[in-house]
């Protein structure tokens, strides 16, 4: 099932990082192609005509779009190595629920923290911390969300750590002070080479966000 594998991506994308982690965790070689989102390649437009967005995973010429679908696909195709999605139907449903929660809440609230000021930013920070506390509750005393090994929820959430520093700088708060269990979990994840090598430097992401703020006139 190997064949040609290409990932169209953009380095600061937490969504692309999910696929990078999943592929690294399973030890699957692939070709990484960096996209210029202001001048999207013909290949990207051809492979994802519906959304014209990264990441796109191309396996033997066939595109798989949307990061969570890519992680599921990677796990199903290379199921014999480092399984990510639980085999138990109920545990699988729970994992899918939390990944959906992360997709609907974490990115949007994080974006509001760096894009807004005043009361709007304060509300976004408050809700962001509340969401992280809910996730801490789900993590409980487990090593990872998936139990003793890195799993689907871990892969979906940990890429946002590369953006945490930017959220803190823009919002003037400390995630570790508010959610120490979350940062302890991040540190465990970062001990895994598959995670550490897939996440960009936090300060580089912050510099990228400062440039975005200039572009948007924020």
117-168 residue pLDDT tens: 999 999 999 999 999 999 999 999 999 998 999 999 999 999 999 999 999 9
Q: What is the pLDDT of residue 72?
A: 98
| 26 lies in the same domain as 123 | no
| 49 lies in the same domain as 157 | no
Q: What is the mean pLDDT of residues 29-36?
A: 97
| 37 lies in the same domain as 134 | no
Where does the pLDDT of residue 216 fall: very low under 50, low under 70, confident under 90, or very high at 90 and above? confident
| 155 lies in the same domain as 61 | no
Mean pLDDT of the chain: 96
Q: Name, in order, each residue with C-beta under 8 angstroms of 158's C-beta and a sequence gap of 6 or more.
A: 17, 21, 186, 189, 190, 195, 199
58-101 residue pLDDT tens: 999 999 999 999 999 999 999 999 999 999 999 999 999 999 99
Residue 29, token pair as written in the block: 């070689």
| Backbone region of residue 157 per phi and psi (left: phi > 0; alpha: psi in -120 to 50; beta: other values) | alpha
| 37 lies in the same domain as 118 | no
Q: Looking at 78, 105, 133, which one is the last position of a domain?
A: 78
| 63 lies in the same domain as 21 | yes
- Are 70 and 55 within 8 A, CB to CB? yes
- Are 162 and 14 within 8 A, CB to CB? yes
| 108 lies in the same domain as 208 | yes
Q: What is the pLDDT of residue 218?
A: 79
Q: What is the pLDDT of residue 2?
A: 59
| 97 lies in the same domain as 140 | yes
Q: What is the mean pLDDT of residues 14-37?
A: 97
Q: What is the pLDDT of residue 185?
A: 98
Number of compact structural domains in the chain: 2
Residue 206, token pair as written in the block: 């912050």
Residue 90, token pair as written in the block: 């109920």
- Are 205 and 167 within 8 A, CB to CB? no
What CATH code is carried by the domain that includes residue 15?
3.40.30.10
Task: Please check whether residue 115 lies inside any domain of the structure.
Answer: yes
> Residue 137: helix, strand or coil by DSSP?
helix
Q: Could you tell me how far CA 19 lies from the centroid of its own chain?
A: 8
Q: What is the pLDDT of residue 105?
A: 97
140 is in which domain, residue-wise?
A: 89-216
| 123 lies in the same domain as 208 | yes
- Are 57 and 63 within 8 A, CB to CB? yes
2-25 residue pLDDT tens: 579 999 999 999 999 999 999 999
Contacts 24+ apart (CB under 8 A), 86-89: 86/146, 86/151, 86/152
């Amino acid at each position: 099932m190997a064949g040609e594998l290409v990932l169209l991506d953009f380095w600061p994308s937490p969504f692309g990082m999910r696929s990078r982690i999943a592929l690294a965790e399973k030890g699957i070689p692939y070709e990484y192609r960096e996209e210029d989102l202001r001048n999207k390649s013909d290949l990207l437009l051809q492979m994802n005509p519906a959304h014209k967005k990264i990441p796109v995973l191309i396996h033997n010429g066939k595109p798989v779009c949307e990061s969570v679908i890519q992680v599921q696909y990677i796990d199903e195709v290379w199921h014999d190595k480092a399984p990510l999605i639980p085999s138990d139907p109920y545990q699988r449903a729970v994992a899918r629920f939390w990944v959906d929660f992360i997709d609907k809440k974490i990115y949007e609230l994080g974006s509001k923290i760096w894009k807004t000021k005043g009361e709007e930013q304060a509300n976004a920070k408050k809700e962001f911390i509340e969401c992280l506390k809910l996730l801490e509750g789900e993590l409980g005393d487990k090593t990872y969300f998936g139990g003793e090994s890195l799993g689907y929820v871990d892969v979906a959430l940990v890429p946002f750590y590369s953006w945490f520093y930017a959220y803190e700088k823009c919002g003037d708060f400390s995630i570790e002070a508010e959610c120490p269990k979350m940062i302890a979990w991040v540190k465990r994840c970062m001990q895994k080479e598959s995670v550490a090598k897939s996440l960009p430097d936090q300060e580089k992401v912050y510099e990228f966000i400062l440039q975005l703020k200039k572009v948007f006139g924020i």
